[in-house]
């Protein structure tokens, strides 16, 4: 049995293209060896390696000049808020202009779209749609509340020192301007309706769902990031609430289970209570119930003198 020569170190653990194989002086015979598998046209993957989305996306992008990673794949890579049924998808979404031939690759979902130059970007060596364009591409596919939640994520201000970004991905006005470019795009009607519901201040999708549920229940739209002392940027803040009625509302997600976060939560809760606010905390059980109980409790609090 002829021994198989080892792969170069930079190719032994990641998908790679034919061009990268040629640059590493790998012969056609070496590419047909049993330790390599085809990952689609002009792509190879070392056998036994776990699926890694960034590596697969990088190789697919490199193997398809003029096209870019988009839709669900772009959203996963950028960390956008996707519904549970779209998370951890192994399908790779690739968009291309009409001038390029139709995408025909196993495991690749191809899209032929019109996109302007500033709607794609280079991200960690991958040609990818921008966060805003990714949102627009997904508007047709996502339910309205998820379209609004992802939009809230685009316009939220990142926390200093805790995130790689220092600026929002977009402003509401920038989203509106992008929609004007694509008046006939599928999903554009939903996108136009959603952009009017996007607000700055939501730190998670459930917070957006809670706000929308309160409005859908006929309640006034709550403010976001409501501080006990409005003039003090260091004052504890509730996720949303009604300042004039001194009502604070908090959604506690999974990260609130850590000891450190619980200590911060306890200090925040005590501050609202000591200031005499009506204060509500909701969680995943309320989310599963579409916040119907939450809407009832808040409605009763708003009716109190």
Q: pLDDT category, 1, cuts 50, 70, 90?
A: very low
Query: Does the structural domain 205-303 have CATH classification 3.40.960.10?
Result: yes
Please give the average per-residue pLDDT across 84-92, as a whole number: 88
**Per-residue confidence band for 84, with pLDDT thresholds at 50, 70 and 90:** very high
**Residue 106: pLDDT over 90:** no
pLDDT over threshold 90, residue 33: no
Higher pLDDT among residues 193 and 2, named by residue? 193
User: Residue 11: which pLDDT band, with cuts at 50, 70 and 90?
Assistant: low
Q: Over 80: is that where the pLDDT of 28 sits?
A: no
- Strands 108-112, 92-96: pairing kind: parallel
What's the whole-number mean pLDDT along residues 152-160? Answer: 93
Q: pLDDT: is 12 or 275 the higher one?
A: 275
Place of tokens 């600026």: 167
- Contact indicator for 217, 169 with CB cutoff of 8 Å: no
Is residue 99's pLDDT more than 90?
no
What band does 52 get if pLDDT is binned at 50, 70 and 90?
A: confident
Integer CA distances (angstroms), 150 to 47, 135, 136, 141, in order: 36, 7, 10, 13
Q: Which part of the chain has CATH 3.40.960.10?
A: 205-303
What pLDDT is attached to residue 208?
A: 98
The mean per-residue pLDDT over the stretch 241-252 comes to: 96
Which residues have C-beta within 8 Å of that of residue 182, sequence separation ≥ 6? 114, 136, 188
**Average pLDDT in the chain:** 87
**pLDDT band, very low/low/confident/very high, at 50 (cuts 50, 70, 90):** low
């Amino acid at each position: 049995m002829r021994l198989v020569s080892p792969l170069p170190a930079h190719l032994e653990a990641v998908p790679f293209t034919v061009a990268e194989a040629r640059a590493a002086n790998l012969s056609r015979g070496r590419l047909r060896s049993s330790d390599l598998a085809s990952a689609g046209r002009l792509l190879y993957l070392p056998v036994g390696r776990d699926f890694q989305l960034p590596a697969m996306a990088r190789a697919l992008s490199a193997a398809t000049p003029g096209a870019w990673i988009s839709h669900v794949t772009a959203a996963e890579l950028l960390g956008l808020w996707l519904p549970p049924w779209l998370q951890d998808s192994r399908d790779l979404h690739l968009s291309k202009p009409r001038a390029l031939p139709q995408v025909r690759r196993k495991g690749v979902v191809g899209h032929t779209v019109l996109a302007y130059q500033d709607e794609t970007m280079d991200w960690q060596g991958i040609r990818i749609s921008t966060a805003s364009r990714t949102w627009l591409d997904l508007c047709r596919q996502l339910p309205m509340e998820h379209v609004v939640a992802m939009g809230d994520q685009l316009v939220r201000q990142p926390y200093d020192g805790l995130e790689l970004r220092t600026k929002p991905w977009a402003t509401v006005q920038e989203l509106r301007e992008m929609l004007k470019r694509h008046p006939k795009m599928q999903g554009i009607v939903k996108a136009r309706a959603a952009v009017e519901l996007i607000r700055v201040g939501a730190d998670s999708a459930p917070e957006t769902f809670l706000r929308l549920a309160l409005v859908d229940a006929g309640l006034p739209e709550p403010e976001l990031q409501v501080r006990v002392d409005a003039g003090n940027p260091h004052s504890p803040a509730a996720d949303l609430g009604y300042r004039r009625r001194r009502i604070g509302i908090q959604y506690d997600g999974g990260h609130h289970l850590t000891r450190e976060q619980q200590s911060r939560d306890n200090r925040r809760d005590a501050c609202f209570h000591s200031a005499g606010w009506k204060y509500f905390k909701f969680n995943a059980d309320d989310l599963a119930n579409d916040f119907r109980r939450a809407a009832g409790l808040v409605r009763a609090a708003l009716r109190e003198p």
